[in-house]
Structure 1
Amino acid sequence: MAKQRVTVCVPPCDPDDPESLHRAIGQAMAPYDYNREDIPHPDWVGEWDYWFVSGAGYAFAVLPGHEDDPRLVRHDEWTERPEELPRSRCHGGPRGLLDLDTDRAEVGREAARRWDDWRRFADRHTGPESVLQAIAKDPELEERFTHDPYNWFGRDREAYIAERVADVLPTPAMLTLAGRWVEYGGPGYRQWFNAYLQDLPADTMVVRVLYHS
């Protein structure tokens, strides 16, 4: 058994009723409860047995200028333990108030720097064997370039950057507005996740949830 995160999408909730969002998430999650009593065991296999609202390493950036919007999700009483979030971050909120671009842009810039560093490093050596020997002797180089840099970085700079950027927003699973639980199953999942999130109506509530499975 382990804990994992799912991004839950639910329709707009009543901002004057703080519990309305929690109820909506509970209703969306309910069909995937291990302990459902309307489906006889052992035929039923669910996804979770308990859950909490929790962004942690998956916290969203808040669109600048909207840090105090009451619809943003920062309710410590819903989390497994209090999480100290700066005003610029949240567990979730209306999709239109989430800054989906800043974190991706920062990762893209770092990926570009790392790819360029790798090419300069590789070009200073006489061949792949020499490169790999140099990396094997230096833990800092291995940390930056991995032990398998030719496979990791590939030949295409833009493709490498796009892969790193696509990793920023997805959690291992998403629960869609239609109630469909979608889990990571290959590179296509990341592209789908980013496109789905980007295309949601601006008032859709998007929340990070930590569940135990």
Structure 2
Amino acid sequence: MSITVCLPGSAAKRVDEAVAEAMAPFASDGVGAVERDVWDSYRICGSVGLPVLAGHEGDLRLVADRPRWDGSLEPAVPGGCAGGPRGLIDFRDVLRAEAAGHAGRVWDRWQEVVSRHLAPDDESVFFYRYLAAGGARDSYETSREAADYRAQPAVRAWVDVAPRLARPDIADHFSFDWDPVGIGRRSREEYVATYEFSLLPLRNVLTLSGWWYELGDPPLHGACHGPLECVHEPNFGMEHPEVQSYLIALPADTLLVNVHCHV
């Protein structure tokens, strides 16, 4: 697995030592301070690393790959690097704008559909009504209640609209094979924020304050032995948009280093 290690700008002249200090609490074989073993070896590596802001590919502040165990280097990734100051890393503003723009259009279109019909009930209303009447979960889709849900005018109208807005290349969500009523449960800003980062790669992050965020797992704090003993508040939640927002908000001189770990 790979993780983006965040270091203060002052670490630029001692990258290897600073990365080692940040990674140390999470070492396996009983060496690290954290009870969960995370890695047993690692290397600063750009093969799945960080994209460089256009025009800055030759900047001397960028971090180069470290050699493999046999002294060889992996083939360079065009436009990529193993690390560098946050201000030199491309966070794909164009891709973020494309995803955010599409999410906004979906939200607006749903509001238009709902404005012409009675506000529809969420599918859960029909599903639990079916269960209360003795129905089995696995037969709901063919039930009268499911048909009643789909017969709501706004839901029926959305069936005609959705194919023109389908963008599964941005997110599976935009396949629209689910209950659309949920679109309106959030404000436009909240809905857009949920999908703004959909086109960006998922990243694991080790924050400046020593929190290890591996997507899909609760964060670990390098200053504490385990979650039960930790009294500190994580920097943010575990979801992809929150990780991306954290990275983007860092000061421009913050050093981001991609580390490839053997786990």
Per the normalisation by structure 2, the TM-score is 0.54
Aligned residue pairs total: 194
Report what 1:197 is aligned to.
247
Q: For 1:99, what is the secondary structure of its paired residue?
A: coil
| 1:115/1:153 contact within 8 Å kept | no
Please say if 1:208 is aligned against 2:258. Answer: yes
CA distance in structure 2 between the partners assigned to 1:111 and 1:38 by the alignment: 40
Gaps of 5+ in 1: 15-19
Report what 2:54 is aligned to.
64
Which one of the candidate residues 4, 9, 13 is aligned to 1:7?
4
Q: For 1:93, what is the secondary structure of its paired residue?
A: strand
For the aligned residue pairs, the C-alpha RMSD in angstroms reads: 4.3
- 1:79-98 map, 5 Å: 82=74, 84-87=76-79, 89-98=80-89
Report 1 or 2 for greater relative contact order, CA contacts < 8 Å, sequence distance ≥ 6.
1
Compared CA separation, residues 65 and 81, structure 1 to 2 (3 A): closer
Report what 2:226 is aligned to.
none
Specify the code of the residue in structure 1 equivalent to 2:193: A
CA distance in structure 1 between the partners assigned to 2:183 and 2:73 by the alignment: 38
Per the normalisation by structure 1, the TM-score is 0.64
Please say if 1:116 is aligned against 2:113. Answer: no
Q: For 2:3, what is the secondary structure of its paired residue?
A: strand
Cα distance per residue 1:44-103 (max 9 Å; x no partner):
42211222334556x43323332201221342635998354223x323211222233xx1
Which one of the candidate residues 188, 198, 211 is aligned to 2:237?
188
Identical-pair percentage: 29
Report what 2:178 is aligned to.
148
Gaps of 5+ in 2: 114-151, 169-173, 220-235
CA distance in structure 1 between the partners assigned to 2:36 and 2:88 by the alignment: 35
| 2:61/2:85 contact within 8 Å kept | yes
Question: Which structure carries more strand by proportion?
Answer: 1
Q: For 1:193, what is the secondary structure of its paired residue?
A: helix
